[in-house]
Amino acid sequence: MAHQRRANGKKIPERVHKQRRRERAMQLAFVVLSIAVAIGVYSVVSAAVDRFGWRVDLTEGRIFQITDTTTSILEELDQDVTITYCNSRADADTNIAEVLERYAAASDHVTVEYVDLTANPSFAQTYAQRGVTLSDDGVLVTCGETLRFISWSELYEISTYASADGGQQYQLTGLRAETQLTSAIVDVTTAGTTGVAFVAGHSEDVPQALEDLVRNSNYETSRVVLGVDEIDEDVKTLVIAGAKRDLSERELEILDAFMAAGGNLMVFRDPTVESLPNLDGYLQEWGLTVEDRIVLEPSQQMDSPLNIIPLFGVSMINTYFSEQSTYLVMPESRQISISQVNGCLTNEVLRSTSSSYGKDFQEMDSLERAADDASGPFTVAATSERTYEAEGESRTQYVFLAACTGMYQPSYLETDSLGNADFVLQVLSYMNDHSVALNIPTKDLSASDISISWASTVAFAAVFVVVLPLGLLAVGVAVFLKRRHS
């Protein structure tokens, strides 16, 4: 024991001190190196996120993730586009700023800038001289001298309501930034605009959702009363949607003159209107006849035999749908007969199945199939085309007909799982040789609550408040005792 005490009382050798200092230095160097590596990795990842758009959208419904339509347009972009957000980066709307960063990351031709209008009044004045009024939190999209300004309110879907004290309140229910931005980019990078005019004056049924769909796909939309309003020279297609009163002889002359000049016609015939002699007669001149027969489906339908799910015919309009897993719904549709007359080439676009049956519209008193009902398949949408000479070259004009107005109602156009909106745009694209058909849905901002039962709450509390802390404490005690006895 005495020898042990004397041994313990000896001075620790200098080499032991040096070894311990080296170990401490190595430990310190390891810590510093670890921190440096962590900072380096973070910097590289951050730069990659900014450069390549490596962002994870964890929001409900992925409201910031851009669609394949936008991605395709940005990948094919060959002109430089500048998107200017009218506010400072620090004060920018975080939703819009996130969307803009994704646009910049998706294409080298897209540049995003932030300009505070208060701090830079000359910027707003420059565009005011060109007739464009900029406003805070709006977005200016420019390509060369071509521009389009989108106000903040246009970037959102907004619902208004009256508060308890009677005041007017608003709520943001949807994000429309991608819809507006992509449409603006196509607009400023495309030479000229194609006009689509909706005919009015016959109690037509043109919901705002249909007009918005067409306008957001980079068409210039308008409404025209034949014989009263001049048809703008940029209008290439007239749309007659759900007319409940017939066209007059004078209106037919104007329509015929428009078609003679190479225009296109898109008709959604109201199936509940018994007869429109002038309009129906004009369509027959193009080989398209609306029959007095309602088409019903026993199985390929949605909720009712009247809501048929048609098959796609052999038409260039349907090329898009051959690559997509989608279907259409046509509520209350009449049969269409096609024939080749007056040099027109008619084609079936949509048809019912061979199991379908047809009932006389005037005598239909039941949806059940009767022994004397006609058997399908029936044509429910068709086109007629005719060639004409213009500026020394041969061109083609089109008439599209569907005896159904339910297919473009908001409930069908705004349902992402249905192809009704895409179909309308594909028809317009085919008729106008329009290469871009935009159907970008509004992103829902109404977050739903997560329901957690009392049992689940207790379980979560037990795991995170009791089990995990006790487990960590037990591990710490075990490590301490192990080191003490070693």
pLDDT at 5: 46
- Check pLDDT > 70 for residue 38: no
Using the predicted structure, report yes or no on whether residue 460 has a pLDDT greater than 80: no
DSSP-derived 3-state class of residue 169: strand
- The confidence score (pLDDT) of residue 180 equals 85
Candidates 287, 281, 428; CA nearest to 344 is 287
Q: Phi, psi at residue 119, to the nearest 5°?
A: -80, -20
How would CATH label the architecture of 193-432? 3-Layer(aba) Sandwich (3.40)
The yes-or-no verdict on residue 56 having pLDDT over 50 is no
Check whether 94 has a pLDDT greater than 70: yes
* Of 287, 281, 264, 294, the residue nearest 380 (C-alpha): 294
Distance CA 114, CA 85 (A): 5
- How far is 74 from 40, CA to CA, in rounded Å? 31
Rounded CA separation 126/133 (Å): 10
Q: What is the pLDDT of residue 479?
A: 66
Question: Alpha helix locations (H) across 190-220?
Answer: 208-215
| pLDDT for residue 389 | 80
Q: SS in 3 state form for 309-333?
A: CCEECCCHHHHHHHHCCCECCEECE
Listed range (119-133, 259-273, 424-438) with the worst mean pLDDT: 424-438
Angle at 46 between CA 44 and CA 47, to 5 degrees: 65
More confident residue, 337 or 25: 337
Of the given ranges (25-29, 49-53, 112-116, 259-263), which has the lowest mean pLDDT? 49-53
pLDDT > 70? residue 74: yes
The pLDDT tens digits for 209-250 are: 999 888 877 788 999 999 899 999 889 999 999 999 999 999
Residue 300 has pLDDT above 80, yes or no: yes
Q: Where are the domains of the chain?
A: 68-169, 193-432
User: Collapsing DSSP states into helix, strand and coil, what is residue 174?
Assistant: strand
Look-up of token digits 């061109």:
395
pLDDT for 115-135, tens place per residue? 999 999 999 988 887 778 899
Please provide the size of the chain in residues: 486
* Euclidean distance between CA atoms 327 and 353, whole angstroms: 14
Residue pair 249/229 in contact by the 8 Å Cβ criterion = no
- Of 360, 404, 355, the C-alpha closest to 382 is 404
The per-residue pLDDT for 1 is 46
Cα–Cα distance for residue pair 461/452, rounded to 1 Å: 12
CATH 3.40.50.300 is the classification of domain 68-169: no
Find all residues with CB under 8 Å of 31, minimum gap 6, and list them: none
- Whole-model pTM: value is 0.63
- Contact (Cβ atoms closer than 8 angstroms) between residue 425 and residue 437: yes
